[in-house]
Amino acid sequence: MSEETYAVGVDPIQPALIVTEEMKATLRSSVRWAKFLLVVMTIMLVLLLCLGVVLIIFANKSTLLILPYASSELFVQGIIDVVLVLLLIYPLVKGYIFCKSIRRACDTDSETELARGLSAMRLWLRFYGILTIIALVLYPLLAIGFIIARSD
């Protein structure tokens, strides 16, 4: 089922990678879905950044708050939101590079753009993989901490 083709000037022992029209259509479809997710993620990050800034501002207006201790909690939550936004900009950029490079590779048959796009996708997915591992480790620890704190 595997069709081997050889590019001109390439060693006949090693087959060249050929991207068929069906593969290009699949890549283009993947780019559309990735672009949709990236736009949603961008909107969510902008909203989260706005929320973080608002929380930081209101934390400094402690006279407006009913609870006196809420000001420091709002400030910390605002800082966490802003740091989270800054952390998630990296995969956002890699995702957009993936979309742009893969689309350009499909349009121009550029092996360099294909490699660049796939590299960006690898970094994009690796970031979320590492983030998932961190979350899987932290959630049980936080749950145990809350259970211990609640029992006291």
The pLDDT tens digits of the residues spanning 54-69 come to 888 877 665 555 555 5
> pLDDT class for 44, splitting at 50, 70, 90?
very high
| CB distance 82 to 53 below 8 Å | yes
Comparing CA positions, the residue from 86, 99, 119, 120 lying closest to residue 38 is: 99
Is it the case that residue 28 has pLDDT exceeding 70?
A: yes
- Say which residues have a Cβ less than 8 Å from residue 53's Cβ, sequence separation at least 6: 78, 82
Q: Return the higher-pLDDT residue of 13 and 143.
A: 143
For residue 26, give both structure tokens.
């699949």
Joined tokens for residue 130: 């590492």
Say which amino acid occupies 74: L
Residue 12's alpha-carbon distances to 1, 111, 133, in angstroms, are: 19, 19, 43
pLDDT at 49 over 90: yes
pLDDT level of residue 73 (50, 70, 90 thresholds) = confident
Return the minimum-mean-pLDDT range out of 7-11, 37-41, 91-95.
7-11
What lies within 8 Å, CB to CB, of 150 at 6+ separation is none
Residue for token digits 């973080």?
A: 52
Please give the single-letter amino acid code of residue 4: E
Over 50: is that where the pLDDT of 149 sits? yes
**Tokens found for residue 79:** 């800082």
Q: Both tokens of residue 109?
A: 């048959």
pLDDT tens by residue, 80-137: 999 999 999 999 999 999 999 999 999 998 889 999 999 999 999 999 999 999 999 9
* pLDDT score recorded for residue 93: 96
Q: DSSP letter string over 3-44?
A: PP---TTS-TTSPPP---HHHHHHHHHHHHHHHHHHHHHHHH
Higher pLDDT, 20 or 33: 33
Alpha helices in 61-110 (DSSP H): 70-108
